[in-house]
């Protein structure tokens, strides 16, 4: 698969301790994106942040390292991203979900790169 030009980036920010059926919520989101056939998904673990509660969570020494921000980033064609968003409806996402238009300048799967 190749992806280039105009695309949409879906970013879902959750706490690293959020779960769905006894597994990390971010893992469930990535697996749903994979099963849906999205171009790709990446999870980024934050080291410090705060959200709607205004409570700062951090990994710094002598601080609580619970509920750290974790971002799942998915980039694909706009229609595919918008269609995938229905897969998130039943999940207990208490974080932020954003959409941004992006321009993909390079993306090739290993299958395409090898040929």
The CATH number given to whatever domain includes residue 100 is 3.30.70.120
pLDDT tens digits for range 38-88:
999 999 998 888 777 777 777 765 555 667 889 999 999 999 999 999 999
Indicate the pTM of the whole model: 0.85
Residue 112 domain-assigned (yes or no): no
Determine, yes or no, domain membership for 110: no
What's the whole-number average pLDDT of the chain?
Answer: 88
Q: Is 115 a domain residue?
A: no
Is pLDDT above 70 for 111?
A: no
In a domain, 17, yes or no: yes
pLDDT of residue 30: 98
Has residue 115 got a pLDDT over 60?
no
Number of independent structural domains in the chain: 1
Instruction: Note whether residue 111 is domain-resident.
Output: no
Whether pLDDT at 10 is above 80? yes
User: Which domain, by its residues, includes 79?
Assistant: 5-104
Q: Is the separation of the CB atoms in 73 and 10 below 8 Å? A: yes
* Pairwise CA distance, residues 103 & 40, whole Å: 15
| Residue 11, in any domain of the structure | yes
pLDDT, position 62? 54
Is pLDDT larger for residue 91 or for residue 114?
Answer: 91
């Amino acid at each position: 698969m190749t992806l280039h030009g105009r695309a949409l980036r879906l970013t879902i920010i959750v706490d690293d301790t959020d779960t769905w059926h006894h597994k990390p919520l971010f893992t469930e989101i990535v697996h749903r994106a994979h099963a849906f056939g999205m171009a790709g998904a990446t999870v980024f673990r934050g080291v410090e942040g705060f959200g709607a509660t205004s409570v700062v969570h951090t990994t710094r020494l002598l601080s609580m390292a619970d509920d750290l921000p974790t971002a799942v980033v998915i980039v694909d064609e706009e229609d595919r991203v918008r269609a995938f968003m229905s897969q998130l409806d039943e999940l207990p996402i208490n974080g932020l979900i954003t959409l941004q238009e992006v321009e993909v300048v390079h993306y090739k799967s290993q299958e395409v790169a090898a040929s």
